[in-house]
Amino acid sequence: MNAPEHTSTFAPEAVPYVAEGPQPLVRDIPRGNPYPVEALGPLRATVEAVQDITQAPAAIAAQSTLAVASLVLQPHANVALLAGSTSPLSLFLLTIADSGERKSSADRLVMLGVRAFEAALDKAYREESVAQAVARDIWSTTRKRLLTEASGSKKDKAAAANADLRALGPEPSAPLVPMITSQDPTLEGLLKLYQIGRPSIGLFSDEGGWVHWRPRHELR
């Protein structure tokens, strides 16, 4: 038995060819939603003040404000991760805007307090450096004298010198470098700054500078 033959009268409708011009390789970026300044809590007033003074978009003013807020909080807390370890309370921000959008103006305005704090740190650093240099000279001179006495032939004097050497302690350390921000550092320079400065640093760059980070355990 043969299968019945089916015939169809359906035929696709012809679509006329219409020549098109060149098409853009990149699609147009749709306008984003308004920045949610209402979600900033007490920082909203600062963002609106920066926006009013600089006439920068709300997003740029908010980025600058959040960056400084993170810089202030970062030395005082870590965040607990789900795996049980901890990580620095750091915030990474990238602002992409045209020239003249007042990115630098917003940064400079919210950084005024930071710059004043760094100036106070620098003044204290200079004073502490003078005192540390005197203390280091006294320590070095005292240590040399005690070493000479400890190696002398008089046992009583040598024993007393040995005791004084143990009580002398380590060489007075230099004060911490008064920097809490840096711009476009090299990785080597950043690591050195961590060794002679504070354990928390903010990296701020007007030109999108970046550091090629090594694994976290190498920075500890």
Q: How many CB atoms lie within 10 A of CB 114?
A: 17
Q: Domain for residue 117, yes or no? A: yes
- The per-residue pLDDT for 216 is 46
The terminus-to-terminus CA distance of the chain in angstroms comes to 84
- The per-residue pLDDT for 208 is 61
**Tokens 């308004």 found at:** 34
| This model's pTM is above 0.75 | no
Is residue 103 located within the same domain as residue 118?
no
- The per-residue pLDDT for 151 is 87
Is residue 171 located within the same domain as residue 185?
no
Alpha-carbon gap, residue 199 to 124, rounded angstroms = 18
Question: Which distant-in-sequence residues (6+ apart) come within 8 Å of 204 by Cβ?
Answer: 67, 107, 111, 181, 182, 183
Show pLDDT as tens, one digit a residue, over the chain (220 residues): 555 555 556 667 888 888 888 888 888 888 888 999 999 999 999 999 999 999 999 999 999 999 999 999 999 988 899 988 998 888 888 888 888 888 889 999 999 999 999 999 999 999 999 999 999 999 999 999 999 888 887 888 889 988 999 999 899 999 999 999 988 777 888 889 989 998 888 988 876 655 444 444 444 4
- Give the domain extent around 71: 40-77+89-110
- The per-residue pLDDT for 12 is 76
Number of domains forming the structure of the chain: 3
- The per-residue pLDDT for 177 is 92
> What is the amino acid identity at position 89?
L
Radius of gyration of the chain (CA): 33
Is residue 145 located within the same domain as residue 198?
no
